[in-house]
Structure 1
Amino acid sequence: MIGKKVWAIAEGYIPSGSTGPKPDFESHDTLCVLNTSDQTANLEVTIYFEDKDPVGPYKMSVPPQRTKHFRFNEFKDPEEVPRDTDYASKIVSDIPVVIQYTRLDSRQAENAIFTTIAYS
């Protein structure tokens, strides 16, 4: 089994503007999770801000031997992740997983995407 149980993403920002059609080209941040184990991975995500208390946990799961992508834009419970606001996140899993972070910024017609492995 590969991966770690605790991950951090220091960068987070969801632009409110988009130029492309939804949902494919809507500006978004994505949490990409790889679970190579034979068990379901249960995750809790906490969101941190510059000027207010953390929010969470957001709970999600990834089936065994699967990958799953979660858009921060779609996090609703306990509250939506605000747009046009810097944030960071901590991901805790009950089993080792691999975490990657991706952003699509489509505020301009020339889309920009970047990705990075999270810190474990």
Structure 2
Amino acid sequence: MSTMVGNWKMAITDGCMPGDQLSLLNVGSGNAHVELTFCAEGGQPLGPFRLIIPPQRTQSPILEDLIGSGLPSPSLPYSVVVVSDAPVLVQPHRANQNLPKSRRSAA
């Protein structure tokens, strides 16, 4: 569960992998306080990892850099829960474009 009171909550259940990125665009006029929580099959949720995104700016963290070696297995897909106190657009980007388009969801 998140420790931040947020207005916006979304989940990416497409099965993210280490090295993938999230593009987070703050469309508002103030800072967006964002929390990312990672969930993998068979493990405890990791996070929340907190980011501050300035107004009308984008951040694209590499998920593996946020988590470090905390994932149960580097080959295990995981889901990401995104909570923000301001409107943000979220788009995942795969690290390896040669991966098959369908990956199993970790949720």
Q: Distance in 1 between matches of 2:70 and 2:98?
A: 21
What displacement does 1:13 show? 1.5
Larger radius of gyration: 1
- Partner in structure 1 of residue 11 of structure 2: 8
Q: Which runs of 5+ in 2 are unaligned?
A: 1-6, 102-107
**What TM-score do the two structures reach when normalised by structure 1?**
0.68
Q: Distance in 2 between matches of 1:101 and 1:46?
A: 14
Q: CA RMSD in A?
A: 2.2
What displacement does 1:81 show? 4.6
- Partner in structure 1 of residue 34 of structure 2: 43
Q: Distance in 1 between matches of 2:100 and 2:59?
A: 18
Q: Distance in 2 between matches of 1:103 and 1:50?
A: 19
Aligned length: 92
- Partner in structure 2 of residue 112 of structure 1: 98
- Partner in structure 1 of residue 44 of structure 2: 53
Q: Which runs of 5+ in 1 are unaligned?
A: 15-27, 106-110, 116-120
Structure with a larger share of its residues in strand: 1
Q: Please, which of 43, 49, 64 is the counterpart of residue 55 of structure 2? A: 64
Q: Are the equivalent residues in 2 in contact too, given 1:35–1:64 (CA < 8 A)?
A: yes
Identity %: 28
Q: Secondary structure of the equivalent of 1:75?
A: helix
Q: Deviations over 1:53-99 (max 9, x none)?
A: 111100111100111111102114xx545321221110000111110
What displacement does 1:48 show? 0.5
